[in-house]
Each structure stands twice: as C-alpha cells, then as structure tokens.
C-alpha cells in the first residue's frame, strides 16, 4: 500500500484501546492499515468484535471521548489530510459534508420526535447553508432519489410511521444530502428482509456510480460483498487477515478465516449433516464440502402429525377518529400440518404475519378464529386452566436474546424458574443438576450458572434461551428469527445445536425467518406468507427448485448470489 492521489482514505497503523478501569485497557484495533481508492467500493468484513465498526467510528471521529484511546502514531489520511491532526470544529465540518455514515439501526439513529423532512433538512441547513425553503425542496429531491413513495407526504412523516426499509432509505438520503466523497455503510441491511436488502444494495450501488463516491461497506455477510464490492478487507480480533480484489478473495481465499466465513453460511445447493464453524477451519478440522454427508429433507405422506392448524386468523383493531376503530387482518385463514420430528419453515417479508402465527399458536395473541389441534385438543379454544398443561409442551425462542432474558436473574435463576412453576424435578437440587446438564448440552460452561445475561455474547445468550426452552422438554419449538442477528459462525453453531436437539429428542420446529438460505437448510416443508395469507406450501427442495407463486419467485430471486 502506498499513499498517492488515487487514494481517498488511507488508514495507517490504526490502534484503538478502550479503558476497562483505571489500570486496564482493551486493544480493539491492533495496528491495521488499508486504503479506500477514489470512486471505489471497499468491503470491511468480519464478525462482531473484529474491530470493523470501531475502525469506521475512528474515521468519523465518533469514538467515545475519554474511553477510547487512539495511538499517537496512527494516521487517518483523507484526501491527503490527517483527520487526527485536525481541530475539532474543522473535522466535524468535514465529516458532516465530505464523509458521511449510514448506521446499522435506523430507529436508533433517527430522532423519533422530529419528522424525517426536518432531520434531512437539518443536514442541508447546517453543512450547505441552505434556507428552510431550499432545504425542503432539496429534501423532496433526495426522498425521490432514494425511492421513497409519495415524497410530498412522507417528508412530514415521523420515523415510527415508516417501515424499516423506508427508515433505512431516509438514513441514506441524509447521508448523501451533501454529496459526500466517502460514504460509510455500517451493516445497513442486517435486519432487513431479503427483498428490501436487495433494494438497499442496488440503491447504494446506483448512488455510488451516480455521485462517483467511494463507499466503505461494513458487513459480516460475504454473500452481499460479491454483489457490491470492488475490494475486500477481512478482519478478525482487531487485525487484517486478508485483503485484495473482491473476486480473488471470494473465489480463491488465502486465509483460513476467510475460507471459514465463506463456508459457515448455509448454501442453497448443499445441505450437509453439520455446518462447519470457524474453529473447524482455523484448526484444519473442516472436511471438504464434496466429502460432507448430505442431510435428506422432506415429509412422508401419512406421517404422524403433532399439530394441525386450520383457518387460523388474527385481527388487530386500530383506533380511528374519536369513537371508531378499523380492523387490520394480520393473519388470514392460515392452515398447515406439522409432522412429528420435522421442521416447518415460515418465510415472508416483515408484515407478512409469520411471527403473529407463532405468537397466536402460543396464545401470546388471542386468535380471532380457527383451530390448532394438538393431540386432539384445540389449543385456541381451551380454558387457561387446561392450557397450563400444554404451556410447557410448546415453547418459543424469541428473536432478541438481549430482550428475552431477565437482566436481574442469573442464568441459574432463569433456568430454574420455569421448572419450579411447572413442577419439574423433586427439589431445587435435582433441578440444578438438570440445569447444569442443559448448559453442557448447549455448549456453555458450568460457571455460566452463576453469571448474568449481560456477561455473555449474543450467540451465548441465544444458547441460554434455548436451554430455558429445553427445561420444559417441549414437543414443539417455535424459533422466531432466532439466528437472524447472529454472525455467520455463531449462526452455524446455533443451527447445528438445534438440529442435534431435534435428532436427539424428536422435537418439531416451526422455524420463522426471512433468511431463505437458513430456512432451506433447516426445513422439511416451507410455508410462504404474504400480507397475512399462505401463498405457497411445499416440501423444501421442491419449493426452492420449482416455486409456483410469483411472490415466492420474487423472494428467491432476491437472495444474494455474490459468492
């Protein structure tokens, strides 16, 4: 790497430490160097904790003052000027106008009490010196440019009145408002549906070409990288493991860690018995894909059914005017059969009703109509007293392990509480022994029993949530986007665990996800939902090989094929 006029951003020997206490620090970024050429898209790839977001925040000057320490020898050269040597006001002006950033979570980044038009206009007024009238006119142009429908109405909408995809488009409009030379996109599509993800990726690519921007695209998904990036930088534990031309890195990776990231993610054309994880490749234990035994999927006609759902419906009623109300049909006459020991995948975009189906089956929502027959009894219509017996037999793993675990309880308390409520085990000594066995079963050490949720990573918290479900020895497990927010390696670990548990205990899964690659790997049957209705239901392999409904075809066509 050499400094020259073709490089817009040059990072040299960047070292970032964080204070843990008065005496100790943690080195998050360990002397990395890389370049972002002009009019080029560079992908910064790695798992959580790799240092990629810390590096981008260092460029933006957004690291917490007093807590984050940047080494005096580090250099961040933007257009030939060292950002770290600039006065604060000058750097803020530069980072607002010439460098901008799209953050991962738009609802956390947009101010909920201001309209989106005001927030975009504020950038234009502050950095471009526009009047309020000029800023409003330019905001309308920006909303139209990023594909927001009916900009003249949406300009006065609040963030909460927009979908996740529209919120992310507003963030992009704000980021490109001043036509920056460098756009930093930090995991901009992680929580979005596959169709919205494709739209956002195409939008960023088109804006990059139109405005001749450079883009630093931060992600943990190498499938996306191949569709947008010219160059790839792979990071792990604060260090650069590999960098080079995107096609070279994706087609012929030199580093074992890069190979691991590529192979941990489920593929549409393969279904190995066990997904490889990072440690398999780092230790050289991973078997070549061609030798890996394949798992058969599908449902045999006439197989024993554990759950039969017919015409399940759920409506929500929204207040309209002073006394009126309007019905919103979230789930419309959904019917399916869940065979014992099999997995039903449920896919669809946000708002399709897939999560509402799962919550209604668990009676966390009250059904408007329909039946759910479990061993000849209707879960929907039975009394709360009768349903108490069935509560432990149908459990759910929620999407967000940070919100679903009580932060005031230790892991031991989290696992023992449901066993006490349902009378499992003779006494606490026996329950504790069972909890310890479950922790071992989900790959957590015995010491975890006495620790609190905040002391664990996201993947470890999801394992705790799975262990909590297993305390009930359920027959049906609803997995609601249970791996969507996890890194590909942690995701592979959790999917392997779920598969092992199904093989061992014969559980049936309702696997809800917007990740179609993961759904195909896990599912025997797939149910596609759109606007509250089932539009297609078929065996996994058949549906992916020969989709019938136009909506299913649209979902499958949006899967990233960059690798």
Number of H helices, E strands in the chain: 22, 21
Contacts 24+ apart (CB under 8 A), 294-297: 294/270, 295/271, 295/499, 297/271, 297/523, 297/524, 297/539, 297/540, 297/541
User: Is 75 part of any domain?
Assistant: no
Q: Is the pLDDT of residue 1 over 50?
A: no
Which pLDDT belongs to residue 274? 85
pLDDT digits (tens, 9 = 90+) for 516-549: 889 999 999 999 999 999 999 999 999 999 999 9
Of 415-424, 443-452, 484-493, minimum mean pLDDT range: 484-493
Determine contact, residues 159/170, Cβ cutoff 8 Å: yes
Mean pLDDT of 239-249: 94
Mean pLDDT of 15-39: 92
Which pLDDT belongs to residue 93? 86
Contacts 24+ apart (CB under 8 A), 378-382: 380/312
Indicate the SS3 state at residue 542.
helix
Other CB atoms within 10 Å distance of the CB of residue 499: 18
Choose among 47, 77, 62, 85: nearest CA to 16: 62
Q: Is the pLDDT of residue 163 over 90?
A: no
Chain-centroid distance of CA 543 in Å reads 24
- The residues, any chain, with a CB within 8 Å of residue 173's CB and separated by 6 or more, are 120, 139, 142, 143, 145, 146, 148
Q: Is the pLDDT of residue 310 over 90?
A: yes
Phi, psi dihedral angles at 503 (to 5 degrees): -65, -40
Mean pLDDT of 359-375: 94
Decide which of 303 and 449 is more confident.
Answer: 449
| CATH number of the domain within which 521 lies | 3.40.50.300
CA distances from 496 to 119, 208, 264, 346 (A): 44, 39, 11, 19
Q: Is the pLDDT of residue 361 over 50?
A: yes
CA dihedral 286, 290, 295, 301 (to 10 degrees): 170
User: Is 141 part of any domain?
Assistant: no
79 band by pLDDT with thresholds 50, 70 and 90: very high
Choose among 357, 385, 383: nearest CA to 370: 357
Choose among 196, 168, 193: nearest CA to 105: 168
Choose among 531, 526, 555: nearest CA to 541: 526
2 band by pLDDT with thresholds 50, 70 and 90: very low
Which pLDDT belongs to residue 4? 55
pTM above 0.75, yes or no: yes
Mean pLDDT of 293-300: 80
pLDDT digits (tens, 9 = 90+) for 186-202: 888 766 778 878 888 88
Q: Is the pLDDT of residue 80 over 70?
A: yes
Cα 256 from Cα 285, distance rounded (Å): 11
Mean pLDDT of 249-254: 91
pLDDT digits (tens, 9 = 90+) for 429-474: 999 999 999 898 888 889 999 999 888 877 788 889 989 998 988 9
Number of domains in the chain: 1
In order, the DSSP letters of 223-267 are HHHHHH-SEEEEEETTEEEEEEEHHHHHHS--SHHHHHHHHHS--
Which pLDDT belongs to residue 285? 60
Strands 525-530 and 533-539: antiparallel
Which pLDDT belongs to residue 290? 42
User: Is 14 part of any domain?
Assistant: no
Cα 329 from Cα 356, distance rounded (Å): 11
User: Is 178 part of any domain?
Assistant: no
Handedness of CA 400, 405, 410, 413 (dihedral sign): negative
How far from each other are the two terminal CA atoms of the chain, in whole angstroms? 26
Which pLDDT belongs to residue 349? 83
Cα 247 from Cα 147, distance rounded (Å): 30
Which pLDDT belongs to residue 260? 85
Handedness of CA 404, 406, 409, 414 (dihedral sign): negative
- The residues, any chain, with a CB within 8 Å of residue 250's CB and separated by 6 or more, are 222, 225, 226, 232, 262, 562, 563
Range of the domain at 541: 340-353+386-557
User: Is 24 part of any domain?
Assistant: no
pLDDT digits (tens, 9 = 90+) for 371-404: 999 988 999 999 999 998 888 899 999 877 777 8
55 band by pLDDT with thresholds 50, 70 and 90: very high
Of 30-34, 108-112, 411-415, minimum mean pLDDT range: 108-112
User: Is 138 part of any domain?
Assistant: no
Choose among 500, 418, 427: nearest CA to 465: 418
Determine contact, residues 261/487, Cβ cutoff 8 Å: no
Which pLDDT belongs to residue 191? 63
Choose among 184, 200, 213, 11: nearest CA to 100: 184
Chain-centroid distance of CA 123 in Å reads 28
Phi, psi dihedral angles at 322 (to 5 degrees): -80, -45
Indicate the SS3 state at residue 480.
strand
Cα 200 from Cα 146, distance rounded (Å): 9
Which pLDDT belongs to residue 57? 92
Phi, psi dihedral angles at 324 (to 5 degrees): -85, 165
User: Is 285 part of any domain?
Assistant: no
Cα 288 from Cα 296, distance rounded (Å): 19
Which pLDDT belongs to residue 105? 72
User: Is 358 part of any domain?
Assistant: no
pLDDT digits (tens, 9 = 90+) for 259-281: 888 888 888 888 888 888 887 77
365 band by pLDDT with thresholds 50, 70 and 90: very high
């Amino acid at each position: 790497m050499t400094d020259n006029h073709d490089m817009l951003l040059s990072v040299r020997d960047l070292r970032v430490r964080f204070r843990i206490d008065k005496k100790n620090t943690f080195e998050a970024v360990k002397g990395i160097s890389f370049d972002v050429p002009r009019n080029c898209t560079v992908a910064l790839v790695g798992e959580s904790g790799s240092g990629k977001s810390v590096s981008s925040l260092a460029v933006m000057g957004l690291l917490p003052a007093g807590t984050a320490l940047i080494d005096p020898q580090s250099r961040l050269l933007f257009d030939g000027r060292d950002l770290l040597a600039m006065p604060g006001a000058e750097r803020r002006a530069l980072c607002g106008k010439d460098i901008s950033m799209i953050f991962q979570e738009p609802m956390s980044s947009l101010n909920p009490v201001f309209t989106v038009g005001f927030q975009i206009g504020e950038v234009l007024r502050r950095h471009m010196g526009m009047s309020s009238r000029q800023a409003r006119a330019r905001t309308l142009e920006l909303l139209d440019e990023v594909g927001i429908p009916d900009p003249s109405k949406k300009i006065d909408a609040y963030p909460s009145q927009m979908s996740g995809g529209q919120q992310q488009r507003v963030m992009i409009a704000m980021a490109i408002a001043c036509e920056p030379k460098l756009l930093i996109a930090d995991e901009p599509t992680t929580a979005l549906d596959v169709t919205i993800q494709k739209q956002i990726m195409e939008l960023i690519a088109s804006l990059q070409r139109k405005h001749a921007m450079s883009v630093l695209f931060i992600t943990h998904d190498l499938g996306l990288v191949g569709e947008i990036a010219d160059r790839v930088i792979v990071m792990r534990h604060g260090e650069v493991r590999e960098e080079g031309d995107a096609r070279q890195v994706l087609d012929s990776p030199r580093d074992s860690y890069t190979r691991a990231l590529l192979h941990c993610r489920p593929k549409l054309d393969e279904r190995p018995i066990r997904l490889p994880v990072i440690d398999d490749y780092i230790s050289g234990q991973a078997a070549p894909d061609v030798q890996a035994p394949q798992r058969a999927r599908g449902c045999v006609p006439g197989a024993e059914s554990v759950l039969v759902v017919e015409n399940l419906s759920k409506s929500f009623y929204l207040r309209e005017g002073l006394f009126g109300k309007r019905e919103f049909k979230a789930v419309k006459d959904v019917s399916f059969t869940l065979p014992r020991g099999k997995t039903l995948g449920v896919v669809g975009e946000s708002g399709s009703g897939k999560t509402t189906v799962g919550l209604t089956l668990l009676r966390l929502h009250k059904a408007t109509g329909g039946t759910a027959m479990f061993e000849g009894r209707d879960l929907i219509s039975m009394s709360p007293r009768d349903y108490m017996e069935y509560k432990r037999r149908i459990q759910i793993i929620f999407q967000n392990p940070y919100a679903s675990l009580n932060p005031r309880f230790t892991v031991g308390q989290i696992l023992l509480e449901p066993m006490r409520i349902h009378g499992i085990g003779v006494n606490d000594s026996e329950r504790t022994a069972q909890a310890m066995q479950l922790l071992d079963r989900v790959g957590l050490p015995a010491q975890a029993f006495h620790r609190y949720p905040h002391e664990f990573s996201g993947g470890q918290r999801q394992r705790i949530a799975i262990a909590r479900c297993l305390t009930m020895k359920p027959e049906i497990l609803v997995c609601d986007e249970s791996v969507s927010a996890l890194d590909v390696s942690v995701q592979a670990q959790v999917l392997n665990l779920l598969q092992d548990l199904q093989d061992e205990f014969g559980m049936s899964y309702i696997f809800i996800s917007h990740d179609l690659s993961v759904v195909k790997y896990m599912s025997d049957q797939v149910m596609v939902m759109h606007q509250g209705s089932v539009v297609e239901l078929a065996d996994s392999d058949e549906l992916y090989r020969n989709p019938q409904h136009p909506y299913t075809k649209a979902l499958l066509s949006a899967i990233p094929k960059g690798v």
